[in-house]
Chain A
Amino acid sequence: MTAHPPSSPLGALLHAIGIQPRTPDELARALGSTPDALSGMLRTLRSGGYVQDATPQQDGCACGPCALKSMCRNADSAEPALHLLRLTPRGETYLRRLS
C-alpha cells in the first residue's frame, strides 16, 4: 500500500516526482500546494541527492523525431528551460522503501 499519510510532505513530493519528471509548478498543482511552499522541500531533496534536474537527453522522451522541438517545454537545451525535476537512483530507492 502506497497511501501516504497527509503528514509526509517529502514522501508525497517524491512520489509525485516519481510518477514522471515535472516542474515545480506542476508539482504544486498535483499536490494542491504552491511552488513557494514546495521550494524549500525541493531544496532539501536536492541537497540530499534525492532529486535532480531532468535533462532532455535522458528524459525528453520523444524529442528526437518530433517536429515541434522548438515549441517543446524541455527539448534540446543544455539548460532545462522549464526546470523539470526527476528522482535520482537514491530517490527511487527511498521511495521504494516508503511503499
Chain B
Amino acid sequence: MENLTFTLKKKTVTIFLIMIAVGVLSLAFGFFGGIEGKRVAANLLLNIYYFLSMGLIGLFFVTVHTIAESGWQTSVQRVGEAMSMFIPVGGILLVLFFVLGGLHSIYPWTHSDHLDAILLKKVAYLNEPFFYIRLVVFLGVWVLLAYYVRKTSLALDVKGDLKYFSKMRTLSAIFIVTYAITSVVSSWDWLMSLDPHWFSTLYGWYVFSSMLASGFAMLILILYLLKRMGYMQHVNDEHMHDLGKYLFGFSIFWAYLWFSQYMLIWYANIPEETVYFYVRHKYFSDVFYINLILNFVVPFLLLMTRKSKRIFGMLVPVSIIVIIGHWFDLYMMIMPGAVGGEASGFGIVEIGLTIGFLGLFGLITFRALTKAPLAPKNHPYFKESLDYHTHY
C-alpha cells in the first residue's frame, strides 16, 4: 500500500531554513555592504514576483484542469494546490515591499514632483492611491480564491460529495476569468511601469507565458523531489509526459511572444519603443542572448522527442535550466528600468536572495503537502487519471 501521508523530514526543513538564512544574510549584506539600495530593492521585487507567480501557476494548473474536466491532472493536483499556498506569503511580502520604500525606490513615476510631459499624461492611471487599490484587489482576489479552492478540494476528499466538485468548478471559472485580467494588469503595474515611458501591448501575455513555463518547470521539479523521497508512486510516465509537453509547449509559446514583441519594435524602429531594447542590448547583451538560449533553444531541442519527456534524467535538468532562464528573463525586464545599465550587476545579492526565496517557497509548498493525502482518492476523475495513456 502506497504511503499517502507526506511527512517532512527534519533534514529537509533544515536545508530550507539554511537557504532562508542565506537569503536573509545576503539581504543584510545588500543593505550594509555598500550595494546600491535600488539594486537590493529590484532584487527583492524580482524574487517576490517570481515565486508569487509560481504559486499562481500552481493554482492556474488546478483550476484550468478542473474547468476543462481533464482527467489526467488529478494525480498531480495536490502539487499545484501546495504551490498555490505560497500566494498569501508572496502577497504579504509584496505589500510589505511596496509599503516599506520599494515603491519609491525603483518606480520613477512615484516621484510626483519631477514628472515629465509623458508621465503627467499617465497620472490618471499611474498614481499611488490607485496603484495600492489595484494591488490590494488583485492580491485579495488571488488569496481568497486560492484558499477556497484548496478548502473545497480537501472537503471533496474527506466527504466525497460531488457537490464539492461542482463548487470547485464554479470557483475555477471565477479564478480563470479574473486571473486573465489581473495577471496582465498586474504585470503592467509591477513590471512594465519600471520603464514608465515605454509600453508594449503584448507585455502582459509575454510575462504570463514566462510565468507558465517556469511554473510548470517548478511543478515537475517538486514532483521529482517527492518521487525521490518515495511518495507519489501513482504518478507514472504518462503524467510526466504531459507535464513535459506543457514545459515544451509553453517554452515555444514564450519564444513566440518574445519574438513578436521584439520584431515589431525592431522593424518599426520608433525611438520611444526601441529605447527598451537599446538599453538591454548595450548593457545586458550577454543576458539578452543567454535568456533566449536557456528558455527556448534548450527546452526546444532537448524535449522534442517523446522519450525525453518521459524520463526524469532529461526532464529535471531542462526544468532547472528553464527555472534559471526565466529568472534571467525577469532580470531583463526589471533591472534596466529599476537600477539602470551601469549600477546593476550579478553578485552575492542576486544569488543569495534567490536561494533564500527558493528555500521559503520550498518550505511553504512542502508544508502544505503534509496537510493532505497526496492522492485525491475521492476525486471523481482519480481513476481516470490512473488509467491515463498519452500517445504522442
Instruction: Say if A and B assemble together.
Output: no
Which A residues have a C-beta under 8 Å from some C-beta of B? none
Which B residues have a C-beta under 8 Å from some C-beta of A? none
